[in-house]
């Protein structure tokens, strides 16, 4: 398994789990980042520390610190 912050650009993966220690776990669940959902890193920030992800036809920006709490696996 790998965490979302380590994901390769334009590679689709499935969410496995969100760490219980995550400060924004509830918010991630509310916007659709739940176990089993497909997610893809589509854009890197020029300033580092934040990336854009495609989740259910929506683009969502997530900080790398928060993305490190999301475990994913390749299909």
Distance CA 41, CA 55 (A): 9
Distance CA 60, CA 42 (A): 10
Judged against a pLDDT cut of 90, whether residue 6 lies above it is answered with: yes
Judged against a pLDDT cut of 90, whether residue 1 lies above it is answered with: no
Distance CA 16, CA 18 (A): 7
pLDDT tens, position by position, 14-73: 999 999 988 899 999 999 999 999 999 999 998 889 999 999 999 999 999 999 999 999
pLDDT of residue 18: 96
pTM: predicted TM-score of the whole model, two decimal places: 0.91
Strand ordering across the sheet containing 38-44:
2-3, 70-74, 12-18, 38-44, 50-55, 58-63
């Amino acid at each position: 398994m790998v965490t979302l912050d380590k994901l390769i650009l334009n590679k689709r993966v499935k969410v496995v789990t969100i760490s219980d220690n995550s400060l924004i776990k509830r918010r991630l669940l509310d916007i659709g980042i739940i176990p089993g959902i497909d997610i893809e890193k589509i854009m890197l920030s020029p300033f580092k520390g934040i990336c854009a992800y495609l989740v259910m036809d929506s683009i969502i920006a997530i900080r790398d610190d928060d993305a490190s709490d999301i475990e994913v696996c390749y299909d």
